[in-house]
Amino acid sequence: MKKKKMLLSAETMDISFVRKVEALSGTSVRRCFQCGKCSAGCPMATFMEHPPNRVVRLLQLGQWQRILAGRSIWYCASCETCSTRCPNKVHLASIMDALRKLSWDAEGPSKESYVQLANKLFLQNIRTYGRQYEMRLAAVFNVKSGQFLKDLMLGPKLITKGKLKMFHQKNKNMTEIEKIFSRIEEMRKNGEAL
């Protein structure tokens, strides 16, 4: 595949988006001097088209569309290795969080749908049950992602070992949880929260 040249110009650089990432993550991309230590320790770098140091470089150059169009942010495991090792205190794991949030909110283009689906179902489960209900999470994921038979072999053994619960106790704090979700939605609607 021929690599597309990156043209830097006032049109292709969008710094306002980068400012938003910095505000959300509480970290400045300008601190990065491209030593590459973050990527050297990143367990997921081999799965990403833009390893962590390049994600920061692209942000410095205002080329965020390139990041969001790929799958790098969804292949970050949130292990915090990058943030731990950066000599300049660039909190890369928080930058990844911020990029995911902005991409998620915009329902923007992304090459990764499975991770997003899993995240969505996980959060829905909290809203409905208060706690994770692993059996349901896996079952719904398989149906929605069209992989009906995935992990089928693991199932029976886990049930006999008492690891997959067929039933789930509903949490008594459900109304409280619903309130938290709806208050946050309300705050966002009123522009009081990012």
Partner 1 sequence: MTPKNALRYAYYPGCSLHASAGEYDLSTRELFKKLNIGLTEVPDWFCCGATPAHNVDELLSLSLCAKNLELAEQVEGDLAVACAACFSRLKTTQHILSESEFKRQQVEKAIDAPVPLNGNVKHLLDILARDLGLKRLGQAVTKPLSGLKVACYYGCLLTRPTDVPNLDCVEAPTIMEDVLQAVGAETVAWSHRLECCGANFTLSRPGVVVQLSHAILDSAKAAGADCIMVACPLCHGNLDIRQKEIEGVYGTHYAMPVFYITQLVGLAAGLKADKLGLDALIVNPMPLLKEKQLI
List contacts with partner 1 (CB under 8 A): 24, 26, 43-44, 47, 75, 77-81, 83-84, 91, 93, 97, 100-101, 104, 114-115, 117-119, 122-123, 125-126, 130-135, 137-138, 141, 150-151, 154, 157-158, 161-165, 171-173, 176-177, 179-181, 183-184, 187, 192-194
Indicate which of partner 1, ligand SF4, none lies near residue 183 (CB less than 5 to 8 Å, by partner kind): partner 1
Least gap, CB of 84 to partner 1 (angstroms): 4
Of 183, 174, 85, residue with least CA distance to 131? 174
* Rg of the chain (C-alpha set): 20
Beta strands in the chain (DSSP E): none
Instruction: Please select the residue that binds ligand SF4; options are 93, 98, 102, 138, rule is CB under 6 A.
Output: 93
CA dihedral 184, 189, 192, 194 (to 10 degrees): 70
Q: Does 86 bind ligand SF4 (CB under 6 A)?
A: yes
DSSP states along 80-128: -HHHHH-TT---HHHHHHHHHHHHHHTT---S--HHHHHHHHHHHHHHH
Question: Does 194 engage in binding with ligand SF4 (CB under 6 A)?
Answer: no
Q: Least distance to ligand SF4 from the beta carbon of 132, Å?
A: 22
State the CB neighbour count (10 A cutoff) for residue 25: 20
Q: Give the binding site for ligand SF4 (CB under 6 A).
A: 32-38, 42-44, 52-53, 56, 76-82, 86-88, 90, 92-93, 96
